[in-house]
Amino acid sequence: MTPLWRLIVDGPVDGALNMALDRAAQLCREDGSAPPTLRLYRWARPTVTLGRFQTDDAVDSGACARHGVDVAHRSTGGRGVLHDDEVTYSVVASVSDGMPRGVTASYRLLSGALALAYRKLGIGAELTHHDRVSAPSQACYLATTRADLSLGALKLSGSAQVWKGETVLQHGSFTRSRDVAREAEVFRLDAEESRMLAQHTATMSGVLDSVPSITDIEAAVAEAFAEALAITLAPGDWSPSEARLAAELLRQAG
């Protein structure tokens, strides 16, 4: 029998709640009260998520207000990401679920599933082979790491990760389109950094003749994870304990 994982597909949700739900799933998996989970979700409004070591001054608050961009904090590391026209995924699983111990090995396994999802959508994504920092900016998409997926020299998507005991949380984006001018304002990019953001990144709308629908992306990601991880995904929902914990995490975040 293949291992059974839960699949949660959420509609557009507030950014802070999205991050609290991801963290609650990880904490509940670690204490054994929740199953391993693949979650696919969206955003009620454009939202910057800041890595756990970033502060609010990583973004221009005035630009965020002008563009209607929310700001939320992640439990995972990395630089800031502006989420909007995308499908976001999160994976929560423990070593007992077959997740390799440690950042490098787990990234490699999960990135294989992500690359397969892109291929199902008609994009020949590959795991990035070398780290590259294009600018000292707070924006994630101006740097590439070996946890990212690329199309040739172009960065397609990045992922962020955190471990709690024996359990990993990894999340990242399948980006349909990007508003470079807005992102540049939000992260205070200068002209050269804006040019690099436009020229060194790729989106589905930029490489495909027809942009996949949200539903098509969700289906491809679910199929790819089931195939690459040799698991069975069963549709599920949040448990009462996860919902309560997410609410408590939101209160603590203020």
Backbone φ and ψ for 88, nearest 5 degrees, come out as -105, 140
CATH of the domain at 24: 3.30.930.10
Residues serving a catalytic function are 140
Q: Give residue 254's pLDDT.
A: 72
Tokens read off for 104: 């490098």
Tens-binned pLDDT, residue by residue, of the chain (254 aa): 899 999 999 999 999 999 999 999 999 999 999 999 999 999 999 999 999 999 999 999 999 999 999 999 999 999 999 999 999 999 999 999 999 999 999 999 999 999 999 999 999 988 876 544 454 454 545 555 556 788 888 888 889 999 999 999 999 999 999 999 999 999 999 999 999 988 989 999 999 999 999 999 999 999 999 999 999 999 999 999 999 999 999 999 87
Q: Give residue 156's pLDDT.
A: 87
**Helix (H/G/I), strand (E/B), else coil: 34:** coil
How crowded is the C-beta side of 215, counted as CA atoms within 13 Å? 0
Contact 99, 106 (CB under 8 A): yes
Q: Give residue 143's pLDDT.
A: 53
Name the nearest CA neighbour of 14 among 60, 70, 52: 70
Q: What is the β-pairing status of strands 86-94 and 37-43?
A: antiparallel
Tokens read off for 17: 């709640």
Cα–Cα distance, 94 to 36 (Å, whole number): 7
Strand ranges of the sheet holding 149-151, from the earlier edge strand across to the other edge: 126-127, 149-151, 154-157
Element (H, E) at 185: helix 180-186
Q: Which domain holds residue 42?
A: 4-253
Tens digits of residue pLDDT in 64-84 = 999 999 999 999 999 999 999
State how many domains the chain has.
Answer: 1
Measured over all CA atoms, what is the biggest interatomic distance in the chain, rounded to whole angstroms? 55
